[in-house]
Amino acid sequence: MTIRANWNYPTPIRFGAGRISELADACRVAGIERPLFVTDPGLVDLPMTKAAVALLKEAGLGVEVFSDVRGNPVESNVYAGIEALKLGDHDGVVAFGGGSALDVGKTIAFMAGQTRPMWDFEDVGDWWTRADPTGIAPIVAVPTTAGTGSEVGRATVITNEESHTKKVIFHPLMMPKVVIEDPELCVGLPATITAWTGMDALAHCIEAYCAPGWHPLADGVAVEGVRLCKEFLPRAVKTGTDIEARGAMLAAASAGATAFQKGLGGIHAMSHPVGALYDTHHGLTNAVFMPYVLVFNRAAIEEKIARLAGYLGLEPSFDAFLAWILDLRAEIGISPTLAGLNVDASRLDEIAAMAIVDPTAGGNPVELTTDAAKAIFHMALAGEM
């Protein structure tokens, strides 16, 4: 066999209800004594967040909280966090929250000891090789949404405020040293955000599975991730206190981000510019684009998707899979068109231009040209396939 591949699965994950109680121990294992606890303004005052910080204090760790993190986080969030890290002489980061808080926490830890500017480490070419690996602070990650899978990923998504583009910052050593996945932390997540974030996990699994390239390990993880979403996402949306469903969705989110080391595709390439220009939620934006990108890619993925449909217990055909996606979207209350995001065609040229250079575009099984991006956008605008 002449195939060469790079496969990465190293993160230790402590999974299970109540395991947030191990947070101080996770810090010790990661070599952190004075953590900067990075979260967001929506989470910082919740009792579960205060309890997590209290656990660290009780264990004698020198913790301080940093919560200047917006949704679709921007570079100034990262710079403010680096300042807090240095001022407080923190030796690591606890990143606690959804993808926004996890991404900012990871990027703060990554940038802590770098001399080059953050944008040098955008996931383009091999810039990441020029990072100083000794300048990366250890990270413990605690996801409180089940979607991005950032807790197991080597990348973060930060919006460049000057160009209004979402940039992927990448380094293999940006991975958290220990992850705690405690489904009890997700029970207060509103049904809407549960649905949106869950569709992000599903998008990661589907796009990774459809991305070209030889990575049967990622394919297997992605397929099981899709199955978990099928069985448990509607349950998690319907009953937020369903711990089994919350746990399964945390696993699906980590599966998605583990699998997308293989690549993503047109759903994310379209979603990133829309999210950057209109500040729409990432998972919701993915969910709107999902069926249109699948239909656009149909010729290249039909056979693979039919196989996936069979594994899910559906009739083994592309049409059955597509029908399931459309039903799922409707069942969990997601808008079928861009109208639900208050997005119109006025910035289409910009969106298409940004989509084709997005780092995820290269993973689309059909080349994502400007015309292709425009065609997908028009389908999503009109709700027609």
Ligand X SMILES: NC(=O)c1ccc[n+]([C@@H]2O[C@H](COP(=O)([O-])OP(=O)(O)OC[C@H]3O[C@@H](n4cnc5c(N)ncnc54)[C@H](O)[C@@H]3O)[C@@H](O)[C@H]2O)c1
Residues at the site binding Fe ion, with contacts judged by CB under 5 A: 200
- Among residues 11, 107, 114, 156, which is the contact residue for ligand X, using CB under 6 A? 156
Choose among ligand X, Fe ion, none what residue 257 binds, the Cβ cut-off being 5 to 8 Å by kind: ligand X
42 binds ligand X (CB under 6 A): yes
| Residue closer to ligand X (CB basis): 71 or 212 | 71
Q: Select the span of 8-16, 69-77, 238-246, 300-308 touching ligand X (CB under 6 A).
A: 69-77
Choose among Fe ion, ligand X, none what residue 157 binds, the Cβ cut-off being 5 to 8 Å by kind: ligand X
CB of 208 to Fe ion, least distance (A): 11
Site string for ligand X, 5-24 (x = CB under 6 A): --------------------
Which has the closest alpha carbon to 166: 175, 174, 155?
155
| Residue closer to ligand X (CB basis): 150 or 297 | 150
d(CA 371, CA 13): 42
Which helix (H) or strand (E) covers residue 181, if one does? strand 178-181
d(CA 243, CA 232): 10
Contact 107, 78 (CB under 8 A): yes
Sign for the CA dihedral angle at 245, 250, 255, 256 comes to: positive
100 binds ligand X (CB under 6 A): yes
148 binds ligand X (CB under 6 A): yes
Contact 236, 224 (CB under 8 A): no
283 binds ligand X (CB under 6 A): yes
* Contacts of 147 by beta carbon, 8 Å cutoff, 6+ apart: 98, 99, 196, 197, 198, 199, 200, 201, 253, 282, 283
105 binds ligand X (CB under 6 A): no
**DSSP assignment, residue 122?**
B
| Residue closer to ligand X (CB basis): 193 or 245 | 193
CB of 29 to Fe ion, least distance (A): 28
Contact 185, 39 (CB under 8 A): no
Query: Interface residues with ligand X (CB under 6 A)?
Result: 40, 42-43, 71-73, 97-101, 103, 144-145, 147-148, 150, 153, 155-157, 185-186, 188-189, 193, 197, 200, 257, 282-283
